[in-house]
Structure 1
């Protein structure tokens, strides 16, 4: 049952690409790679037959045949090299095609309906989604193709050589019973026992590999966090605390790696012993027939070669078990990630509240119940109507739920009931206290989320000058991690420039000037009133000086929002 569930989960991950409209190139590459794999098996069969002739020629001291067979081997070797090189090359092309398609699909699913945001609220069991997209998809494609094609080659090789080994091995008389093709049965028993023992010894590696991928991603994420918050850590002089955190996370990496090493050591003791015994096993079993004169040296070498091919094919699972364990862990992680995405989308569709656009110019909130994920209520049955052109200031104590109210208005907060009616066709823009600045050119950062090509360079430069960032006006094409280059106040100024360019109908400012002095705050609000006369401002703030830029004030009282 567990195996069936795993195979079902694997097929759910693998199938979409192979039934998509973009599958044509992938199918062509896959068929070609399979054809090359079959060609390699055919050459291996020819080399096995060559063994008989070559060693018989040596035993009979036939020099002409010796040189002729060397020439034949050279041709087979060159053909093998060509097929092997292009099989790998085309397989890598297929990996690029498949991974690119999966990358696009998972990125789209992660971003659709803001699943990336909802997953943080609804599902804390899915760690490091960035690692699952960047690394797990790569592992999934690489291992699926290498293991799948390896299995196919093993099956074809087994089918090609088992008949040869059956004919060459003859019958074994044991206790008066004749066992035909006895070396085939020896290979099956040998490989079957080896596979069962390998799985029994190596099964714990699956869980260990799953955890290793998680611990590696956690450690990498902690390092990135320091880089992104370098100034804050430096000001707090938190280096020792960060070092302790790094050591703790790295200790998890090392401790789990020791577990993998110990299990692989046990597994390697068995698999290496198994492989070494397999070298001499066919000679020991076939030696009586050779020394009795029933077969020549060429026959003995051909039997050994055929037995090796059959035994290798049957032992395929033994050789690839460490890779199988990592592949299984990768499938489990991607399955969990896909389930979390589905859960986030499902929760979005099962929202108790109604948020839609309706005819008219007013923004209406009716019987709004707002709460935290833990269930603590923030607002109860609140009804508000906001008129266009009537600027509103929302005030209240920290933690009351002001920012959460904006999240509900933006449609990203899942824990609310009631109705939010937005003016049909109205453009809304939200400026959080800490603006998001994408990595890239300054032009792109200022225009985000709109396409930078929509705006002329002079228009962008003028907006930067208007908000007090004239020193950056000549750097539109400069690429930086702007969240680290600009101060908090400069980032908030840039957000105001973004508002000037986007010209929304409704602008929601969540303490958008908290990092600026009051005189700069005053200048920016006057700028909005002058440049965006048709934009309605809805602000969250604690400064009393903000009141003069708004006609209406909503104040938090318990779980109610009252007009002051």
Structure 2
């Protein structure tokens, strides 16, 4: 594949661009054709690939040989018909010509088959290799933090196959056409050295012109890939966020974004059409001129009877085939610009995947130790770029079977601590002790819904687990999704789950996975934010029954009911760890729920004025065992309607003071009383 790769760069950088291209090609093709590392490819597979390649080369050589042979047969065919006028000899020669054409046809078919088979095998291997890099060591996650690598999904799905098919197509065509041009040049040389020298000089000049024309096309092809990738991403973005766009009625703005990216494709296409117009004119004109040479030089020789008509015809045919081969070679040079672009982007992507999975040098990282408990030992966590400290000198241990609730202002790193536990972020210092990740189940705020059946949704990530339909139905009942089966045709039905399930149903489905998996440790990142309090209470109670050790991130005060400890993160990277009761007492003193005139409300109904709860100015001071609905609204986060509803149903409410209250329906009381 030599001369097809001329990078779209200034002339002064042409050589360096050429060298860089070959470095990219070697990085991509080397492990397949000449593996140097153990385990890259099985030796038998390498031998098979080389065997197929050698077979392709032999088929191409045979094809060129048969084409040259047919040119001689055609020459003798003309001689027997025009000069010798021997019909029987003509028929014999014609039979040989027909056999030769049949062989040429078979060789063309088999050579293309072998070429495509090699390309397919190479594509399969290369795709698996890049996909392994993408999914190993969480490179698929880390690559998103690289702004210089765009659209990894398109690079995987659309830009690998063209590399192998283009490489084999160009290589086979290059070998075939060079052999054809050499063969026909020799044939012409035997007939007329003058024509052969003209063809040789003409070929050299033409290739220089073709290389110049292809420089612009290479740049255009590179931009075409990028513009199409951006356009496809915009369309995918609309599909993934269809509901949000519909709520905002943002169709016009989305259309503008899509049209803006599509206009880039159109402008690029217009530039490409203009460049290809010049290339086509040059290519066709280049071939046409070659076909004139033999007649200009050989016609006088034929008129003077210095050559026969068969030689004239053979020379004309050879020049015509030479021109055709050269034209196809020029076209391959033009289309090779796309191959160059694909190769550059894939090499860049492959290098980036390797780079993001490397452990950075000369930077401090949190040391992770796998044991059967969870603890932070003097951990200072930073953002991956080391520009911001999230939490400083954190030391705590979560006891087996207990629950830890992480709270704090938005953006202060609550979810970042979970990323550290998962091994996604490790910038900082200290030691993190955690169980093996196989024993930990993560439930994010936006549950991950896989592409699969309902059974696979419930069993994820261990989809090979065996559970009966009855067992799965019981799990759905536990998470209040028993009606889900009535909306689909059984557990083995695959539907677009993200479209048919609400966010709350998706969160309950995630909890169902927890009940199926029974992990030793569970991490919940606002995993009940879309649920009502009743569903949240039911799910956390079932979580507690599993005896799992769990850590939650959340803002709801109702979460205090299900955890023993609270880790509060502050704006200045400091932290405090207290038990739930002490934390509630701390926050009770800071509750601000007063009327706008900022006066104190004192309810003093305790016998003998015992047990008063003092609140700050602008805060309610409660000193009674009985409270009205309005007073309970001050002491809780519930709405008046919820308070009345829970009171009529006899349900309890946990107040901001940490105490639990129930409504006394006795006609003589009719108040909320502390339990």
TM bin (shorter chain): over 0.9
Counterpart of 2:164 in structure 1 is 141
Matched, 1:537 2:539: no
Partners of 1:360 and 1:447 in 2: CA distance: 24
- CA offsets 1:285-342 (integer angstroms, 9 cap, x no match): 3323222221111101111223344455556542312211111111111111112112
8 Å contact 1:282–1:307 — kept in the other structure? Answer: yes
Q: TM-score, normalised by structure 2?
A: 0.78
Alignment of 1:99-138 (within 5 A): 99-121=123-145, 123-138=146-161
8 Å contact 1:132–1:334 — kept in the other structure? Answer: yes
Kindly state the Cα deviation for residue 159 of structure 1 after the two structures are TM-superposed.
Answer: 4.0
Kindly state the Cα deviation for residue 375 of structure 1 after the two structures are TM-superposed.
Answer: 1.5
Counterpart of 1:33 in structure 2 is 56
Distance 1:349-1:79 versus aligned 2 partners, 3 A rule: farther
**Aligned-pair RMSD on alpha carbons?**
2.1
Kindly state the Cα deviation for residue 424 of structure 1 after the two structures are TM-superposed.
Answer: 6.0
Instruction: For CA contacts below 8 A with separation 6 or more, give which structure has more relative contact order.
Output: 1
Candidates 76, 90, 104, aligned match of 2:100: 76
Candidates 523, 526, 535, aligned match of 1:520: 535
Bigger shift: residues 302-311 or 497-506: 302-311
Distance 1:499-1:141 versus aligned 2 partners, 3 A rule: same
Partners of 1:12 and 1:502 in 2: CA distance: 42
When the two structures are aligned, how many residues end up with a matched partner?
A: 550
Counterpart of 1:54 in structure 2 is 77
Partners of 1:366 and 1:84 in 2: CA distance: 71
Kindly state the Cα deviation for residue 38 of structure 1 after the two structures are TM-superposed.
Answer: 1.6
Candidates 234, 239, 246, aligned match of 1:234: 246
Counterpart of 2:7 in structure 1 is none
Partners of 1:414 and 1:30 in 2: CA distance: 47
Kindly state the Cα deviation for residue 105 of structure 1 after the two structures are TM-superposed.
Answer: 0.7
Q: Higher helix fraction: Structure 1 or Structure 2?
A: 1
Kindly state the Cα deviation for residue 383 of structure 1 after the two structures are TM-superposed.
Answer: 2.4
Alignment of 1:182-221 (within 5 A): 182-221=194-233
Q: Any idea what SS the aligned residue of 1:480 has?
A: coil
Candidates 413, 420, 425, aligned match of 2:432: 420
Kindly state the Cα deviation for residue 73 of structure 1 after the two structures are TM-superposed.
Answer: 1.6
8 Å contact 2:133–2:139 — kept in the other structure? Answer: yes
Partners of 2:392 and 2:278 in 1: CA distance: 62
Partners of 2:437 and 2:126 in 1: CA distance: 34
For structure 2, the residue ranges without an aligned partner over 5 or more in a row are 1-14, 36-40, 579-675
Kindly state the Cα deviation for residue 95 of structure 1 after the two structures are TM-superposed.
Answer: 2.0
Partners of 1:125 and 1:453 in 2: CA distance: 40
Counterpart of 1:499 in structure 2 is 514
Distance 1:168-1:339 versus aligned 2 partners, 3 A rule: same
Partners of 1:78 and 1:51 in 2: CA distance: 14
Q: Any idea what SS the aligned residue of 1:434 has?
A: coil
Q: Any idea what SS the aligned residue of 1:346 has?
A: coil
8 Å contact 1:370–1:405 — kept in the other structure? Answer: no
For structure 1, the residue ranges without an aligned partner over 5 or more in a row are 170-180
Counterpart of 1:174 in structure 2 is none
- CA offsets 1:49-107 (integer angstroms, 9 cap, x no match): 11221222232133333322222221111111122112222222222211111111111
8 Å contact 2:402–2:550 — kept in the other structure? Answer: yes
Alignment of 1:161-200 (within 5 A): 161-169=184-192, 181-200=193-212
- CA offsets 1:110-153 (integer angstroms, 9 cap, x no match): 011011111111x2111111111111111101100000111111
Question: Radius of gyration: which is bigger?
Answer: 2
Alignment of 1:210-289 (within 5 A): 210-289=222-301
Partners of 1:157 and 1:475 in 2: CA distance: 63
Matched, 1:557 2:570: yes
Partners of 1:416 and 1:45 in 2: CA distance: 71
Bigger shift: residues 30-39 or 215-224: 30-39
Matched, 1:329 2:341: yes
Kindly state the Cα deviation for residue 468 of structure 1 after the two structures are TM-superposed.
Answer: 1.0
Kindly state the Cα deviation for residue 458 of structure 1 after the two structures are TM-superposed.
Answer: 3.0
Q: Any idea what SS the aligned residue of 2:483 has?
A: helix
8 Å contact 2:406–2:414 — kept in the other structure? Answer: yes
- CA offsets 1:349-394 (integer angstroms, 9 cap, x no match): 8873234334453423433232264713222232232222221000
Counterpart of 2:496 in structure 1 is 481
Partners of 1:6 and 1:16 in 2: CA distance: 16
Candidates 59, 72, 88, aligned match of 2:112: 88
Distance 1:461-1:93 versus aligned 2 partners, 3 A rule: farther
Counterpart of 1:176 in structure 2 is none
8 Å contact 2:115–2:172 — kept in the other structure? Answer: no
Partners of 1:32 and 1:453 in 2: CA distance: 46
Kindly state the Cα deviation for residue 408 of structure 1 after the two structures are TM-superposed.
Answer: 1.4
Candidates 154, 165, 174, aligned match of 1:151: 174
- CA offsets 1:150-185 (integer angstroms, 9 cap, x no match): 11112332443333222111xxxxxxxxxxx23222
Kindly state the Cα deviation for residue 452 of structure 1 after the two structures are TM-superposed.
Answer: 3.6
Partners of 2:54 and 2:384 in 1: CA distance: 54
Partners of 1:441 and 1:25 in 2: CA distance: 39
Bigger shift: residues 308-317 or 330-339: 308-317
Q: TM-score, normalised by structure 1?
A: 0.93
Bigger shift: residues 352-361 or 465-474: 352-361
Counterpart of 2:624 in structure 1 is none
Distance 1:383-1:426 versus aligned 2 partners, 3 A rule: farther
Q: Any idea what SS the aligned residue of 2:258 has?
A: helix
